Chains A and B, each alone.
Chain A
Amino acid sequence: MTTTSGIGASTLRNEDHRLLTGSALFVDDVHLEGMLHVAFVRSDYAHGVLRDVDLSAALALPGVIAAYAADDLGEYWSPGPLLVPPPPIERCEFRSATQVPLAKDKVRHVGEAIAMIVAESRYVAEDGAALVEVDIEPLPAVATTEGALADDAARIHDQFDSNQAAHVVQEKGDYESATADAALRVRRRFRMDRGASAPMENRGIVAQWDERCAELTIWDTTQAPIPIRNGLAHMLGLPETHVRVIAPFIGGGFGPKIMMFYPEEVLLPWAAMQLKRPLKWIEDRQESFFATTQEREQIHDAELAVDADGRILGVRDSFLCDTGAYNPYGLTIPINSQCTLLGPYDVPNYWSEFRLVFTNKPIVTPVRGAGRQHGVFVMERLLDLAAAELGIDRAEIRRRNFLPPDAFPHDHEILYQDFAPLVYDSGNYEPALDKALEMIDYHRFATELQPAYRTDGRAVGLGIVSYVEGTGVGPYEGARVTVQTDGRVCVATGVGTQGQGHFTSFAQVVAEPLGVSAAEVDVITGDTSHFNWGTGTFASRGAVVAGNACHAAALAVRGKILATAAGALGADESDLEIGGGFVHVRDEPDRTISLGDLAARANPLRGAVTPGTEPGLEATAYFGPERGSTASGVHAIVLEIDRDTAQIDILRYVVVHDCGTVINPMIVEGQIHGGVAHGIGNAFYEELVFDEGAQLMNASFMDYLLPTAMDVPHIETAHVMTPSPLNPLGVKGVGEAGAIPVGALFAQAIEDALGADAPEILEMPLSPNRLFELLQGDPDA
């Protein structure tokens, strides 16, 4: 059935009205009678011995209700859980040190929480925080990834003999013997530095303890309300059913809002129970720069071996990955890097090793892309270098190495971050490359346009890169679909939403089998009182995992609708049709009944019910894929460099993307636009700059530059659809894809623009300053 709001339609969003009129509830909009406000005292030092915390002056300030340091928490003080234990990789050494609610004995990064002040207003809470006297004896800080493993590096966690958190080797084939006769080896060192996720809404939490009902309600800017509920219930000794976590509208997530548990998430509920007053804490932007997790620092020493035709014989890579002061997220990021490096290519031999290291910087957890950028950057740059050496066209070297359409499922023989073997479910890469080449006018650019630009003295270059993204990983999500007596349909699911359009995409998935429009479907996400099984929004998995759960639940409800209607209309189920909110007997339009009336019939107030019958037109279903589905794409760019200022102007940007079945093209394209903008930030504007003491130097939007409307170009998009065989809808994730290949793309295009005298671009992010230095031939400046 084709509808204007079913799968594949650019249905306008159900959630827009509330957001456009200012009536949507965000966490900071929660106002409760008697609510108190919280501010935190944070470490000014990256590393030091915490000698004393004196709260007395703060407690003496009128309006301050309570103040807590680590010792005040008693037995409640405990390091957070290890969220993601290491996958069962054979050669894996791993040790974990997780974040603490308030620093005790030692501080390990700037911004680590030391004390919590509760007051009648946020203003007074901050006054109180300023009165807390903190005595820290500074220690030498580990400020760089490379410095973490130096013999004389300061030890961040005293229980370990070094700052190494993990050492992992994954291998496929035999790189050394298989590449002994390689026509060419290219080997380089690649660096990628840190950025902030920078959602426009900072984090926040409101906690309310109702002593009479023994119920705790928490509004939290989390991407994972259900695990937060379960964890807090455990920590606080409450039944899970007595803790309700609501993730209302969330102003962007991009990864760090799924970190669990942030100190504030642990402390506010506890203190609300202690004080028997509702509490609110809203992170300010400066706090966000060091109290919210970050990502991206890695250093790769990588080698690619190819034959004379540019066919890949193997890749060898050894890299360092910074996890910051603690490592609650385990190995997710470096394993993503390790796996995503293989890209859409046939790589018969692969040897990859990484070391995860502690540094005295804010904690690292996934940010949109989650390590995939690094793998793509390394592989794409190595292919560019090999193509140049061998005199092969850069698009052609990619084409020659693509896995062919009949190679799927393709087993890469290593483990992915979801603990499952890295097996690509499906893919078809050449059509995407061809489409991108056509859209960017590749051949004409090389033969006509670029020579003309050069004649005019303009440095204009083209870039084209490929990537894959492992998306839609398990374990599972669920959904409950209910037809209400007014004929509207309600969908409740556990994943939180941060702008991805779940209120619309999930409605479309459900609308089609139930014969209603998406506008007649009300979606509830992120409230554990409505649905309390599931994990959260991460790894581009909402549409894949929760979407298929919605689909399964809708099909079950469709069965109930038909069974109930068959009884009501005295017809055989096979003669019934659903559409427009009604069921009718085929070819007999007068024999009809509305979904609302059927819902009422399915929940009678009197009379006998057939044994075994469930009431209502409602069903709950779960979906858990055996492993993630692999999305892919090609990005192409034309950019111009001003040689005097090293500023870049993007003239064209093309994305050809394959995320399988597209539920809502408008939403998918929006996700791609946003991802590309994030990628442009990571490539050319955004860098968290730390000094030698691991002090963050640019913790404001004045100094940390997010791309504006002047920096992000018009993005031309096209889709290739290779449905995933791993889920009934055939969908693959798309949320992170746009951000993943942009660094590699910029690097290639910059080199192309500068021609023969181009410096090699082996690092991200760049900036006009850094590019200027590279143009001056001073790579170490």
Chain B
Amino acid sequence: MDEAQRVNVGGSVNGARFEREVEPRLLLSDFLRHELHLTGTHVGCEHGVCGACTVLIDGEAVRSCLMLAVQADGCEITTVEGLAGDALHPIQAAFHEAHGLQCGFCTPGILTSLVPFLRDHPDPDEQEIREAISGNLCRCTGYQNIVAAVELASENMRG
């Protein structure tokens, strides 16, 4: 591709500034994984169904396979790598406690989807949880322990 067609994209990811020149067609998911080497964000379908690639853009859950990197210009991005501090994020800890993951491939997208969900719904019931994660496909768990993990996380986060 013609170098002249490359465009600048800049923003922050997990609190760190980035500035890159990219092809306009580059997907945000590929940009995060292969340019910034943040490989915790996973790509499962590249057509917006499976939810594995979900990241937070300015705090909201977004499928990074349905967005171009250039569209994230000026945005604050959070990936799964940015959730834990010194200790696991309470949602991560609850997934460990409740066995809410098996192969772990879909997990990053589920965790990032849940951050704004639990912010906006601090005390969800089972049906609300199931609706919230119904945009994330998981082939391993049958979702049961994911639901249990979200219940545990919401309980712990409410204190």
Interface residues, chain A, CB within 8 Å of chain B?
12-13, 15-17, 19-26, 28-29, 31, 63, 122-124, 198-202, 249-252, 254, 284-285, 498-501, 666-667, 670-671, 673-678, 700-702, 706, 708-710, 712, 714-715, 738
Contact = CB atoms under 8 A, between A and B. Distances in A.
Contact of B49 (A26, A199, A670, A702): A702
A252 B139 contact: yes
Contacts of B99: 12-13, 666-667, 670
A676 B142 contact: yes
Interface string B120-151: 00000000011101111111111111110000
B54 interface: no
A365 B134 CA distance: 30
Given A198-B139, A285-B46, A677-B143, A22 B81 contact: yes
A700 B101 CA distance: 24
Given A21-B40, A678-B139, A252 B103 contact: yes
Contacts of A701: 45, 47, 49-50, 137
Interface stretch (B4-12, B66-74, B105-113): B105-113
B32 to A, nearest CB: 11
Nearest to B105: A251
Contacts of B157: none
A160 B102 CA distance: 44
B26 A200 contact: no
Nearest to A704: B49
B47 A201 contact: no
A21 B107 CA distance: 9
Contact of B96 (A16, A198, A250, A708): A16
12 contacts: A20-B96, A21-B84, A26-B105, A28-B39, A249-B105, A254-B139, A285-B45, A285-B46, A499-B101, A671-B102, A709-B129, A712-B144
Main secondary structure of the interface of A (DSSP, over half): loop
The 9 closest A-B pairs by CB, nearest first: A22-B40, A499-B103, A251-B105, A19-B104, A673-B142, A677-B142, A499-B102, A701-B49, A29-B39
A674 B42 contact: no
A20 B92 CA distance: 6
Contacts of B147: 709, 714
A20 B131 contact: no
Nearest to B52: A200
B142 A674 contact: yes
Contacts, number: 177
Contacts of B92: 20-21
Interface of B: 1, 23, 25-26, 30, 33-34, 37-47, 49-50, 52, 79-81, 83-84, 88, 92, 95-97, 99, 101-108, 111, 129-131, 133-147
Contacts of B142: 670, 673-677, 712, 715, 738
A653 to B, nearest CB: 10
A13 B137 contact: no
A198 B144 CA distance: 19
A537 B53 CA distance: 27
A569 B9 CA distance: 66
A17 B89 CA distance: 11
Nearest to A199: B139
A468 B43 CA distance: 36
B141 A670 contact: yes
